[in-house]
Structure 1
Amino acid sequence: YADASRVLTLAARLGGNTAEGLFEVATVTFAEGDFRAAQRACRALAKAHEGHPLVHVCNAHAFLVRNRSARAFEELEGVLEKDPNHVEALLALGEAHRKRASISDAEEAYQKAASLDPGNPEPHLGLGRLYLMARRTKDGIASLRRALSLDAESPEVLFEIGRALADTDEGRAFLTRAAEAQPGSAEAQLALGQVLLDRGDPKGAEVAFRAAIKANKGLADARIGLAEALLGQDDLAGAERELEGALAMVENAPRAVLLRARVYSKTDRVEEAFKEFQRAASLDPRNPEPLNEAAEQALALGRDVLGAAFLDRLLSRHPNNARGLALYGDVMKSRSKPDEARSYYQRALQGDGSLDRMAVQKKLNAL
């Protein structure tokens, strides 16, 4: 952002500090989400070009940084009354409606801006964000691809389409490019860190998460991600330290609680681990992993009754969870109940979620 601001400020100065040039300088502050910097940039524009429509558009964007859409509408009303085809005002109007989740109004504003300025990627970026927010994923990705075709190097477009396609190689490549283009963007670095974790590169993820924290020290998700990256490198003390910091910011973050349970488990604090696994399960009942891991650890310690209790709770919520069913098969096998074990193993092979099916099939064949 600092580099972009310097370049645009120089360009504005060389161009005679036109209203358009000074507005471009202000757009950096909008992207950065810095309300005070946005106000300063808008004041500079107003001082040089009092009464210019872009002054009101600039003020509207500044208010949107603070989610003050009502004030943004006030600034835009007069501009659009005089010029209903003012593209920058329409883009700001679309953003104001999007902030209020007024889908049809935002869509109308963005589409009108796109028709008036066909070579501008911004309306399509706005539409992409809008459709994704409305869970119109196919439309959102199509709009973002259109924006990308108009500006293949836009960090914002790369980030949004990368996030929408994060579970694909293409999406991860987009996120990597977005982070490389915005080393000071906490959001982009956070997304890159998660991509690298998913790829099995905890060291690379650590670098990205540290960059995210440097950009935004209050970003709890980055500290949680860093803890996971450190845990993946067996830096248990470092992982625990980051988790304590994250949980001080967000006390009931399920992922942080689950990771802390794993740290306790790896440092022989078994009872503390069981408590944290249960807490993580309570905080996020949709995630079967905390109870699966608790049951697996209990069974490994020979505490079958406790393991079965965890599995009872798990399967009451997730009756088709493959891993939980396979673990219950192990419980039945240890109790010399081959018929029950066979039933659980067979159900596990037909169940949902990740499972080493070859290993389960071997257990089934051995009964």
Structure 2
Amino acid sequence: MEAGRVGRLKLGSQGLEVSAQGLGCMSMSGTYGPPKPEQDMIPLIHHAVHSGVTFLDTSDVYGPFTNEILLGKALKGGVREKVELATKFGGSFGDGKWEIRGDPAYVRACCEASLKRLHLDCIDLYYQHRVDQHRVDTRLPIEVTIGELKKLVEEGKIKYIGLSEASASTIRRAHAVHPITAVQLEWSLWTRDVEQEIIPTCRELGIGIVAYSPLGRGFFSSGLKSVENLSDGDFRKFLPRFLPENMEHNKIIFERVNEMATRKGCTPSQLALAWVHHQGNDVCPIPGTTKINNFNQNIGALFVKLTPEEMAELESFASDDVVKGDRYMTDIPTWETSETPPLSSWKAA
């Protein structure tokens, strides 16, 4: 695959331009099984950049910290100048549970630490990974967190601000403090709840859309096999949709997608990823992988063309009344739990 074939798109209205498809780096450092060898992952990242996939996505919580360290090593030797690097703050694991923070001191400390691990002077796109839920009784208004991020922009430590798993009203409140360049959300054939309010809000405000897990966390790559081959430490083993009682039903979705892919002369993963690409030129999916062959296959999705009739057919396979199981366990925060108190209720310590 020659460099440059992937194409480019403008992400949001603030000036950020990225590759039309990104690379999610989370699984390289765990979450979906054990961490992969650094000597394999760095060549994969370099291959991605050479292929034109220059929008790289990481977070301080991946590992934790080790994914940023991996990216920092991979970006040496002139690679940094070729990429758009996105990382995140705001989520950490304490006692096996998410701890979410967005207070100014924490925001600044996380940014400084990420800059150091990544060997950067400036982060291209800095997301709040989850909206502040540190303690229910003292949640910070979103305006306070964005206010500190705005200072980091003014200081040249980050270029653009993003949000992940934020509700429509939270996005509006944040955008009023400083323009939000991108919102990262889960969007795939079997996760479409964001289409009602969040996607329209982003488009109204000129905010780019970054779709994570566009392949349903691997489901649209191999269906039932994606569950049967999971290692003991794989996070997906605990997700409701991947539980045996739900997967027995959900496997029918994959079978239908696979049948259509056969007719189209592509793989089911390419078909599912192409569906995301066809949502608009303001959408950048960031499928993750740890294998060069799978990466090359994902790039092929850019060249799968779908008619409106084919889009509708695909959507019928995975409608809300067909998919069984929620996308997360109940204790993991999502956009549905991202509301924060009004700024008027907050008093700085």
Q: Which has the higher contact order (CA 8 A, sep 6+)?
A: 2
Structure showing greater radius of gyration is: 1
> Greater share of helix residues, 1 or 2?
1
TM-based fold match above 0.5: no
TM-score by length of 2: 0.29
